[in-house]
Structure 1
Amino acid sequence: MKILLVGEYSRLHNSLKEGLTALGHEVLLISSGDFFKDYPSDIKLKRKFDSGIQKKLKTLLYKFTGVNITSLSLKNQFFKHTERLTGFDIVQLINESSFAATPKYEKEFIDFLHLNNKKLFLLSCGTDYVSVAFGLSNKLEYSIFKGYLDNTVSKETYFSSLKYLAPAYKELHNYVYSKIEGVIATDMDYHLPLENHPKYLGLIPNPVNIDKIKTPKTQEPTHKIKIFLGINRSNYHTKGIVYFEEALEIIQKKYADKVEVVVVENLPYKEYITKFDKAHILLDQALAYDQGYNALEAMAKGKVVFTGASPQFEAFHNLKNQVAIHTRPDTQEIVANLELLIKNPEKITEISKNAINFIEKEHHYITIAQKYIDIYTT
């Protein structure tokens, strides 16, 4: 089949492309690289006017004319590639707003792709109308909107997520859903909001290209246990990073002779993955019920990851062994779990092995690619 993957988050579509290609399908990926992460694409649309004085000029222009020149630039770049974006059996969107452009232009992209290709599918693997509305509903113990709901973080901080509830984005949501065959969730955080939705096709776990992860698996702790925290300021609050920072402050004071802590911020993907290779423990997120791609890649390398590993996640995979540390927004609980590993380093080795086996069994990129093909052809 000819498959067009549109947009990129956390290397998901790159990994899926590798799996689909291994199965013999012809795949093209178009994206803008996911902001500073700069993931590769066959067709790369460059985001312009997003920093420095250009961003200030963009804001002024939008204020007086209503034109978002970043989105207009993305539109102009997109439509230069129309010949390469037609005739596909399957088109899959990474999000309702795959290029993070304004709804007006996203609709134009959808229109073109729907008219010039056969089937259109949507992923739910990041914030969108359904997941945001669900997260604000207080149906679960906590959500990425915890700081917003308990009034400890300003509403403005959540703009990039709350925007999906604005009329223009809700209209875009309805428009996209009117064009797609269905929507696929990539983990429990997006499965739970979509349960019983008429367009929901089910959960397919994120693909991880085991063959590309060539760095040595995590070594058993010998002297100091290395703990790694990578911060992305744009999702600082939605990942609950503050709980990790508070926990690390306590751990560093109490176990300075037993741990080595590395904290990095806003690194491009290629640089980021080299930074955590020597870590034994990776602190990922404290407001999730399942793992995103960052956690999965770390688990594939044998890291003990503090992330979403909820009872719902364990039940879905019928897990008998611990593969990650389920992490809730509770500083003292995080401290206690870190202490358990520091005092019992053999647990690090045990969970590391479980994590590697889990990724190979449940997230292998070729196995996952076949699951997509099964849904596409049903």
Structure 2
Amino acid sequence: MKILLIGEYSRLHNSLKEGLEKLGHEVTIIGFGDQFKDYPVDIKLYKNYKKGLPKFIKRIIYKVLNFDLISLDIKKQFFAVKNKLQDYDVVQLINENAFNTIPKTEKLLLKYIFNHNKKVFLLSCGTDYISVNFAYNKKYKYSILTPYFEEKEAKTSYYYALKFTSKKHKKLHHYIYNNVNGVIASDLDYHLPLQHHKKYLGMVPNPINTDILKYTPLIVKDKIVIFHGINSSKYYKKGNDIFNAALDRIKKKYTDKVEILTVTDLPYNTYINSFNKAHIVLDQIYAYDQGFNALEAMAKGKVVFTGAEQEWLEFYNLSENAVAINALPNIEYIVNTLEWLILNPKIIETISKNARNFVLTKHNYITSAQTYLKLWTKD
């Protein structure tokens, strides 16, 4: 089949592409590369007007004329390559705002996609109308909006998520759902809000290419290395403030037993190797399931603090803390759990093996690609 994947978050579409190509399909990715992470794409789109004088001019024009220069620019880029975006058997959107334009422009671009390709599917991956409203109405125990409710930072920093609650995005959401052939969730955080929706086809666990992620069995001989990767734009949304507070206490109490590595805003190709020497990786707090960073770290055999809620344990029939550590929004809990691992290094070695095996069996990129193909081709 000829397949077009629109958008890229956290390397999901790249891993899916690699699985699909192993199965003999022709795959093209169009997208921005997810900002500083710079994931590879086949057709590159650019977000201009993001800094300096162009950004200032863009803001003034938007305030005065309610006209978005970024959307206009992306629209021009899209139609410059429109002939490369037609006649596909399957198209998949990374989410409801795959082109990162205002709803009016997004609808125009999607209309072209719907009219010039056979089947189009939507991936619920990242914020969208249903998941954000689910979080806004506090139907999760906690979510990326928990720091918003706790007023940890300016409300304007939640614009990207909360824009999906607007009337314009609601209309865009309904337009997309009325035209796609089906909706697929990438993990439990998106599966839970979609249950029982008539367009929902089910969850396909994130595809991880373990062929390119080297596994080294963890053996604790000297200091335990704890790695904390920070995305500065999502500092509170990922719970980095809680991790940092816990690490400060661990550092003071176990100076002779731990080494702490902290990095900020690294491109993917640098980031993926920056935690190679780590035993423990602190990923994110406000999640029920693992995202890509966590799964790739687990594939390398790291003990990861991430989303591993009861719903996830039940879905995969797992015991608590056997494969990953459920990172709760509680400093005391994070400190106590880190202490438990520091004082019991053999447990680190056991979880490491379990984590690698879990990703191999439940997140294999070829098996995942096969599941997507079944969903895309069923009547």
TM-score by length of 2: 0.97
2:245 aligns to what? 246
2: CA distance, partners of 1:140 / 1:270: 33
Tell whether the 8 Å contact from 2:218 to 2:348 is kept in structure 1 after alignment. Answer: no
Note if 1:291 corresponds to 2:293: no
Instruction: Name 1:334's counterpart in structure 2.
Output: 334
Q: Which residue of 1 aligns with 2:26?
A: 26
Contact 1:228 1:281 in 2 (8 A): yes
Equivalent residues of 1:218, 1:277 under 8 A apart: no
Partners of 1:57 and 1:279 lie apart in 2 by: 44
Q: Secondary structure at the match of 2:250?
A: helix
Q: Which SS does the other structure have where 1:120 is aligned?
A: strand
Partners of 1:103 and 1:37 lie apart in 2 by: 25
Match of 1:125 in 2: 125
CA contact (8 A) 1:218 1:280 kept: no
Residue matched to 2:112: 112
1:17 Cα deviation (Å)? 0.4
Residue 57 of structure 1 corresponds to which residue in structure 2? Answer: 57
What are the ranges of 5 or more consecutive residues in structure 1 without an aligned counterpart? none
Bigger mean CA offset, 233-242 vs 32-41: 233-242
2-side partners of 1:235 and 1:182: how far apart?
30
CA-CA distance at 1:320 after TM superposition: 4.6
Displacement of 1:52 in angstroms is: 2.2
User: Corresponding residue for 2:279?
Assistant: 280
Amino acid at match of 2:311: Q
Cα distance in 2, alignment partners of residues 217 and 173 from structure 1: 44
The question of whether the paired residues in 2 share the 8 Å contact of 1:218 and 1:278 is answered with: no
- What's the counterpart of residue 159 of structure 1? 159
TM-superposed CA distance for 1:187, in Å, is 0.6
Letter in 1 for 2:20: L
How much has 1:258 moved relative to structure 2?
0.6
Q: Who is 2:89 aligned against?
A: 89
Secondary structure in structure 2 of the residue aligned to 1:29: strand
Q: CA deviation at 1:140?
A: 2.7
Partners in 2 of 1:161 and 1:218 — Cα distance? 38
Paired position in structure 2 for 1:377: 377
Q: Deviations over 1:203-258 (max 9, x none)?
A: 100000111114x5253121111111111122222211111011001000000111
Aligned residue in 2 for 1:225: 224
Could you say what secondary structure the match of 1:183 adopts? strand
The one-letter amino acid of 1:90's match is V
Alignment of 1:1-378 (within 5 A): 1-214=1-214, 216-320=215-319, 322-378=322-378
What amino acid maps onto 1:158 in structure 2? Answer: Y
Distance 1:99 1:217, change over 3 A: farther
Quote the Cα distance in structure 2 between the aligned partners of 1:280 and 1:194.
Answer: 35
Is the Cα contact below 8 Å between 1:19 and 1:366 reproduced in 2?
yes
- What are the superposed Cα offsets for residues 30-78 of structure 1, whole Å, 9 maximum, x if unpaired? 0111111111101011111112222112111222232222221111111
Distance 1:258 1:297 in 2: 26
Please give the secondary structure, in 1, of the residue aligned with 2:81.
helix
Partners of 2:272 and 2:156 in 1: CA distance = 30
Question: Kindly, what percent of the aligned residue pairs are identical?
Answer: 53
Instruction: Give the TM-score of the pair, scaled to structure 1.
Output: 0.97
Deviations 1:292-326 (A, max 9, x none): 00000000000100000111111111225711001
Deviation of 1:139 after TM superposition, in Å, equals: 2.1
1:191–1:203 CA contact under 8 A, matched in 2: yes
For the aligned residue pairs, the C-alpha RMSD in angstroms reads: 1.2
**Aligned equivalents of 1:93, 1:17: Cα separation in 2:** 13
8 A Cα contact 2:152 2:236, kept in partner: no
Cα offset for 1:25? 0.8
Q: Please tell me the residue identity of whatever aligns with 2:70.
A: T
The residue type equivalent to 1:32 in the other structure is F
Query: What one-letter code is carried by the residue in structure 1 that aligns with 2:307?
Result: G
Amino acid of the structure 1 residue aligned with 2:74: L
Relative distance call for 1:164 and 1:218 in structure 2 (3 A) is farther
Aligned positions, number: 377
For 2:266, the aligned partner's letter is L
CA separation in 2, counterparts of 1:372 and 1:175?
23
Distance 2:139 2:48 in 1: 39
Distance in 1 (alpha carbons) for counterparts of 2:121 and 2:150? 35
Quick one: distance in 2 between partners of 1:261 and 1:210? Answer: 26
Contact 2:47–2:70 (CA<8 Å) still a contact in 1? yes
